[in-house]
Amino acid sequence: MEHVDTLICARWILPIEPAGEVLERHCVAIRQGRIVALLPIDQAAERYSADRRIERPSHVLLPGLVNAHTHGAMTLLRGAVEAAAYAEWTQQLQRLEQRWMDAEYVRDGAELAIADMLTSGTTCFGDLHPFPEATAHAAAAAGMRACIGLPLLDRPGLWAGSTDEYFVKGLQLHDEYRDDPLITTALAPYAHWAVSDETLKRVQRTADELELPVIMHVNEHRESALSAGERSFDRLHRLGLLSPLLMAVHVVAVQDAELDLAAREGVSIAHCPQSNLKLGCGVSPASAFIARQANLAIGTAGAAGNNDMSLLDELRTAALLARGLQPSATLPITAHQWLRAATLNGARALGLGDVIGSIAPDKWADLCCIDLNRAHTSPVHDVAAQIVYAASRDQVSDVWVAGRALLTDHQLTRLDLDDILRRAERWRQRIHGE
Amino acid sequence: MEHVDTLICARWILPIEPAGEVLERHCVAIRQGRIVALLPIDQAAERYSADRRIERPSHVLLPGLVNAHTHGAMTLLRGAVEAAAYAEWTQQLQRLEQRWMDAEYVRDGAELAIADMLTSGTTCFGDLHPFPEATAHAAAAAGMRACIGLPLLDRPGLWAGSTDEYFVKGLQLHDEYRDDPLITTALAPYAHWAVSDETLKRVQRTADELELPVIMHVNEHRESALSAGERSFDRLHRLGLLSPLLMAVHVVAVQDAELDLAAREGVSIAHCPQSNLKLGCGVSPASAFIARQANLAIGTAGAAGNNDMSLLDELRTAALLARGLQPSATLPITAHQWLRAATLNGARALGLGDVIGSIAPDKWADLCCIDLNRAHTSPVHDVAAQIVYAASRDQVSDVWVAGRALLTDHQLTRLDLDDILRRAERWRQRIHGE
């Protein structure tokens, strides 16, 4: 008998790779935070002795969801700016952030985001926000995995006053988490209008040198597809940024040739359909990108937009839009493909494809468990379709990050949710002058 | 002190009328199943003595949601036909129903649908399915309100062999429930391709005579917009069916002039955006209909399509699509307007606008309560927006129909959920030959 820390036995397991596989009555064996094996329940009992054996008899176990694009701290402003489309929404939001945001605000907002995400099955997120050290610290303290975007802009902001200061503070944060098991960093030159060619080249050199992902909003709406008369994909190509290191976020206002180019260069796209719809930007041609065999990930963007951070919800919107608006001559994108987008593709986009995103030996045990024993997800003719088209966030019963249970029986194990909600309410009162 | 049966006191109440109103710390007083008064908590204590006082300190109380269009029994086939667009999906679904459907099947499927709907805040649904007596009986036994469509077709089916038999059986069912407090009926000439001009005229005469709503799929997809070379709205107009009694379901492939006509004649539309997207039919121009001051209701259609019956989820999809795809020169449709669509407009479409759909004295106490005290719906800058854009179905804590609690603290009070799930699973096994 081989010893392991934990055996998780589930009615169904979706390992994500091989594609489309549904295992029935299997176990995942975990030792020191990593997956040791994936095998039938009967065999597991013979092969492993475990400190903890967890039975989930009506549940699906799958890799933890990866929210490829977030602005965590925006949770504090969810619902604060409703009756406005993109340009006005941005303006009003920035005015509120300019007035209220500091490191404490970002910490409180990020913790609320982390609670929102863990309770809906997300185990890793790719963030982009000022005061990234506050978000990094909140994630590390919560035991959640995160890829923290280091803002690198030419515009002075609340966090840094100059391009150089952004780079200095950003790289300092990178160094601080260099050996952290949970926190990684990415370079985040916000969007084309925020950075000069020179700064983008500096980003690219730094990314190559440190092998860091680059996160950037690209073509979120029609107006942002051009920079000084040049299409932004052309500009990024000219400056050498189109590569597998780049995660282009949103990509709504895009031409076929640009999708060809992005796919050819190995760029990942973070598809955020609810944010794009709610802010009136439109619909990203996600199916067309998938049809090019390219890496499509899913993100919620900031909760001030759309207004929550459930990746299950986002996934459903993505899948429905693709079926309704982008019928193609080829077969429709399957529920399994969408689950891959929300797990392994997200991990790859954040530079973590080798260590998380699928259930495979040696990967970190970042997992989530969804209970299908509900009126609205029974009977189960098709496990993947029930998750994508019907399951609700409360069906997420458990979440593990590196083998550590952060959600058990629907309850957060390490976070004080009441305290997080109290702090969020205090910010609301302050903002409304109550 | 006046005596009432129940006082429900909530943090927020959305009465739906007057439009956009949000009451804080108010109570609803209920006697003999009907709303007596809506007033501040302080005043309620002085004016009413109540048998039961229910405190919901972090909740929104609003009218129960009205799912204007369902095929309840299709829950048994959710996920059974996934990789197919409309034409093929219909074919495969009909083949399965032809093989398995009888009164017992419809009863079991309808009970599963009722459990799905009650746990997500729906208190009334408008159904259309063969064996309507099984659905009517399931709703009545559950204590749920329903408007049961009586199928009236020229095509022989499992339930009736001829047009006359449809009418005879349908009107017999209508008579059976004539004085029922919960169950009403509607005439349901399925879709234009299923009925001759003569039958449609007979439907219209019967509807006028009995003052019954007429439920009909209209222009669900491009092919169905034409009947024998005539646009189906023109045909319905020629035959006198365009009136406030008609609820046209789906209405995706529609021209501006047809929307004008439908709005002018007082037709209601049941908007089912998830079904339309998932089956590749497209997007109904819901905003354009609302802009015409017309009555837009929301429905989930059958769960074999989309794959659940949560109206909250459907509402979110409707609202996101309208903001992303149908930006208009006028202001965007507000969250309050969407909540009205999912309550009062649905009630009106089913002929129940005078008795349910808003919180007003003398209306039935059909209510639902949503707990916003969650990470993903805090802080609450905007109550209505949090419900439409973030709340999940599990936040529905309570549901009352005619003052009777059918869901209390998230638990069904009258239905045996385990038994319902067991029967659903048995159907799945039978269908798969297990």
pLDDT mean over B162-175? 98
Q: Does the pLDDT of residue B343 top 70, yes or no? A: yes
**Over 90: is that where the pLDDT of B86 sits?**
no
B334/A82 CB distance under 8 A: yes
Residue in B309, B376, B417 nearest the CB of A310 = B376
pLDDT tens, A137-149?
A: 999 999 999 999 9
pLDDT above 60 (res B329): no
A83 to B420: CB separation less than 8 angstroms, yes or no? no
pLDDT higher than 90, residue B211: yes
pLDDT in tens, A183-238: 999 999 999 989 999 999 999 999 999 999 999 999 998 888 887 789 999 999 99
Q: What percent of chain B has pLDDT over 70?
A: 99
Best mutation target among A88, A281, A307 (most B Cβ atoms within 10 Å) is A307
Give yes or no for residue B85 having a pLDDT over 70. yes
Contacts B324 to A, Cβ<8 Å: 276-278, 280-283
CB-CB under 8 Å, B335 with A382:
no
**Once rounded to an integer, what is the mean pLDDT over residues A320-343?**
86
pLDDT digits (tens, 9 = 90+) for A376-418: 999 999 999 999 999 999 999 999 999 999 999 999 999 999 9
Q: What is the pLDDT of residues B238-286, one digit of tens each?
A: 999 999 999 999 999 999 999 999 999 999 999 999 999 999 999 999 9
Predicted local confidence at residue A331, as pLDDT: 67
pLDDT at residue A165 tops 60: yes
Res A327: pLDDT: 62
pLDDT band at A123 (very low <50, low <70, confident <90, very high): very high
pLDDT reported for residue B339: 98
Q: Answer yes or no: are the C-beta atoms of A47 and B295 closer than 8 Å.
A: no
Mean pLDDT of chain A: 96
- pLDDT (mean) for B408-413: 98
pLDDT of residue B327: 62
Say yes or no for a CB contact (<8 Å) between B324 and A385: no
Inspect the interface and report whether the beta carbons of A386 and B120 lie closer than 8 Å.
Answer: no
**Given an 8 Å threshold on Cβ–Cβ distance, is A332 in contact with B120?**
no
Say which of B307, B320, B382 has its CB closest to residue A278: B320
Q: What pLDDT was estimated at residue A330?
A: 59
Of A324, A421, A432, the CB nearest to B378: A421
pLDDT for res B191: 93
pLDDT band at B328 (very low <50, low <70, confident <90, very high): low
> What does the pLDDT average to over B367-376?
98
Confidence of residue A328 (pLDDT cuts 50, 70, 90): low
pLDDT of residue A112 exceeding 60: yes
Which of the residues A74, A76, A77, A78 would you substitute to probe the B interface, choosing the one with the greatest number of B C-beta atoms within 10 Å?
A: A78
The answer to whether B327 contacts A85, with C-beta atoms less than 8 Å apart, is: yes
Q: Show the 3-state SS of chain B.
A: CEEEEEEEEEEEECCCCCCCCCEEEEEEEEECCEEEEEEEHHHHHHHEEEEEEEEEEEEEEEECEEEEEECHHHHHHCCCCCCCCHHHHHHHHHHHHHHHCCHHHHHHHHHHHHHHHHCCCEEEEEEECCCHHHHHHHHHHHCCEEEEEEECCCCCCCCCCCHHHHHHHHHHHHHHCCCCCCEEEEEECCEHHHCCHHHHHHHHHHHHHHCCCEEEEECCCHHHHEECCEEHHHHHHHCCCCCCCEEEEECCCCCHHHHHHHHHCCCEEEECHHHHHHCCCCCCCHHHHHHCCCEEEECCCCHHHHCCCCHHHHHHHHHHHHHHHCCCCCCCCCHHHHHHHHHHHHHHHCCCCCCCCCCCCCCECCEEEEECCCHHHCCCCCHHHHHHHCCCHHHEEEEEECCEEEEECCEECCCCHHHHHHHHHHHHHHHCCC
pLDDT reported for residue B171? 98
Rounded mean pLDDT of A328-356?
91
What is the reported pLDDT for A233?
A: 95
Q: What is the dihedral of CA B119, B122, B125, B127, to 10 degrees?
A: -40
> For A161-166, what is the mean pLDDT?
97
At B279-289, the pLDDT tens digits run 999 999 999 99
Q: Which residue has the higher pLDDT, A53 or B332?
A: A53
> pLDDT averaged over chain B?
96
Tens of pLDDT along A278-319?
999 999 999 999 999 999 999 999 999 999 999 999 999 999
